[in-house]
Amino acid sequence: MAKLGLHTFAFAPEWSDSVFRLRADQLHALGVGLLEIPLLNPGAIDTDSVRRFAESEGFSVVASLGLPPEIDVIADPETGLAFLEKAFDDCVRIGSSVLSGVTYGTIGRTSGQPPTKAELDGTVRFVARAAKAAARHGLSLGIEPCNRYETHIMNTAAQAAQMIEASGVDNVFIHLDTYHMHIEERSHAEGFRIAAPYLGYVHLSEANRGVPGHGNVDWRGVFAGLKAVDFDGMMTLESMNYTAPEIASGLAIWRPVAPRREDVVEIGLPFLKAEAENAGFVFEGFCDDS
């Protein structure tokens, strides 16, 4: 059974127990059973607060990040691995079984050239080592292809699949994002088909990062494509209502993503849920066992 999620950037640039306590009932009513928690500064988040909230309010959590600009996994993989080690510890503490996102590089770093063999080989080695480190914590590692303006290393589902196959590890999955796919793939359905053997997580994001259904993404095609490959996992609405300063520049977030920020959740989530259900998805609902 699929699970509908929400990235916490919808309401705040960083974790805030007080903000999400106020939103819990609303999110349950909208069908949200999963929260994506960004770990942009591993070790700084109040992991006990996140875990208490998730357990008391009945949410699953998944963690994500992008590496900061001072880390170059090709020139200095040890620093990158040390950074991820702190994030892996945070994952365990908040109750996430995965760390996903741009775990292999920095959002917004491009060379202006195609990736070199040295860059690709170095990234493969880094992903393999990071995945083995994640496994020691009982975690899986997600790698998210991003559009050509945010990275030159990995832009498509095919490149992500090649990266996993070259790494030779079995606890790495592909994390696809409809925003990036809208730019890079021939179609969403084609991207999902290519990624299918490794597909573990999906960001549902509009082409303008705003309100789903108020942009150019072919949502009927998105969910038909996911259904065609029997994906039945975690699908999370990602928007940049409140973007952390660490990544706003790399994401080129210069203006509000919607005239009324609340519409991203209040209009976007019901739209996505309805489109998914029309395609045959059934979402795992909130169950209060108390």
Query: Over its length of 290 residues, how does the chain's per-residue pLDDT go in tens digits?
Result: 899 999 999 998 889 999 999 999 999 999 999 999 999 999 999 999 999 999 999 999 999 999 999 999 999 999 999 999 999 999 999 999 999 999 999 999 999 999 999 999 999 999 999 999 999 999 999 999 999 999 999 999 999 999 999 999 999 999 999 999 999 999 999 999 999 999 999 999 999 999 999 999 999 999 999 999 999 999 999 987 767 677 666 676 666 777 888 999 999 999 999 999 999 999 986 544 43
The Cβ-side half-sphere exposure at 66, using a 13 Å CA radius, reads 22
Query: How far is Cα 26 from Cα 20, in angstroms, rounded to an integer?
Result: 10
Q: Is this prediction's pTM over 0.75?
A: yes
Contact 3, 60 (CB under 8 A): yes
Contact 5, 268 (CB under 8 A): no
Query: Quick check: helix, strand or coil at residue 191?
Result: helix
Domains of the chain in start order, with CATH, are: 3-278 (3.20.20.150)
